[in-house]
Amino acid sequence: MAANVQSVLDATLPGLGYELVDLELAQNGLVRVFIDKPGGITVEDCVTVSNHLSRLLMVEEIPYERLEVSSPGLDRPLTKPEDFTRFAGEKVRLKLRMPLPDKRKKLLGTLIGLEDGAVVVDVDGERLTLPMAQIDKVRLEPQF
The 3-class secondary structure across the chain, one letter per residue, is CHHHHHHHHHHHHHHHCCEEEEEEECCCCEEEEEEECCCCCCHHHHHHHHHHHHHHHHHCCCCCCEEEEECCCCCCECCCHHHHHHCCCCEEEEEECCCCCCCCCEEEEEEEEEECCEEEEEECCEEEEEEHHHEEEEEECCCC
pTM exceeds cut of 0.85: no
Sheet holding 126-131, edge to edge: 126-131, 118-123, 106-115, 91-96, 135-140
Beta strands 30-36 and 19-25, pairing class: antiparallel
Return the CATH architecture of domain 2-70. Answer: 2-Layer Sandwich (3.30)
Q: From first to last of its 144 residues, what are the pLDDT tens digits of the chain? A: 666 888 999 999 999 999 999 999 988 899 999 999 988 999 999 999 999 999 999 999 888 999 999 999 999 999 889 899 999 999 999 999 999 999 999 999 999 999 998 999 999 999 999 999 999 999 999 988
**Per CATH, is 81-140 categorized as 3.40.50.720?**
no
Domain residue spans of the chain: 2-70, 81-140
